[in-house]
């Protein structure tokens, strides 16, 4: 059963210490968009290679697959920025929240150009993701506590 809390006019609600942290929800939505991009690019890339479109047979399989991952991470980054901007209405805060994820784009782009084994990319990317997640959470935490001045 849900209770309705009525707040009299002129009174502010006290913010509790257990505020909802929606960082994980935002990241999961952006991750879903990135996964959709990976599936789409992989599907079109495979079809293009089968059809012989633009000499796709010359592209090695590893390059096609890691390039697909790079496209998915770019999509993740773009959607994370957009979601953060829609929530905070500040491009600076949205950039500060999404920028820690940008080196993953560079890593996968480098792995697309130069053959870096997938397990190394996965290991480096997974360990870096922990830091990027903590950085995104700390930007959100500082925003809620009022330590960051908003310039809109």
Quick: pLDDT tens for 47-60.
Answer: 777 777 767 777 78
The whole-number average pLDDT for the span 42-50 is 79
Measured between alpha carbons, how far is 132 from 140 in angstroms, rounded to an integer?
Answer: 12
Residues in the chain: 152
Measured between alpha carbons, how far is 86 from 94 in angstroms, rounded to an integer?
Answer: 9
pTM, rounded to two decimals: 0.77
3-state helix, strand, coil in the chain (%, to 5): 75, 0, 25
> Pick from 21, 23, 17: which is nearest to 96 by CA?
23
- Report the run of H or E that residue 131 belongs to, with start and end: helix 118-145
The whole-number average pLDDT for the span 4-14 is 52
The whole-number average pLDDT for the span 130-136 is 91
Show Cβ contacts of residue 87 under 8 Å, excluding neighbours closer than 6 positions: 22, 26
Residue with tokens 């950085």: 135
To the nearest whole number, what is the mean pLDDT of the chain? 81
Show the tokens assigned to 122: 């996965």
Angle 42-48-49 (CA atoms, 0-180°, nearest 5)?
Answer: 90
């Amino acid at each position: 059963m849900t209770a309705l809390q009525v707040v009299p006019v002129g009174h502010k609600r006290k913010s509790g210490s257990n505020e909802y942290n929606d960082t994980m929800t935002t990241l999961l939505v952006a991750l879903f968009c990135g996964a959709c991009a990976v599936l789409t690019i992989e599907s079109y890339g495979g079809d293009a290679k089968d059809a012989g479109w633009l000499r796709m047979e010359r592209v090695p399989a590893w390059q096609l697959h890691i390039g697909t991952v790079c496209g998915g991470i770019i999509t993740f980054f773009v959607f994370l920025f957009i979601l953060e901007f829609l929530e905070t209405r500040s491009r600076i805060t949205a950039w500060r929240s999404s920028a820690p994820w940008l080196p993953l784009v560079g890593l996968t782009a480098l792995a697309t150009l130069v053959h870096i084994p997938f397990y190394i990319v996965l290991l480096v990317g997974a360990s870096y993701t922990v830091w990027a997640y903590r950085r995104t959470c700390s930007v959100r935490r500082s925003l809620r506590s009022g330590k960051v001045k908003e310039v809109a």
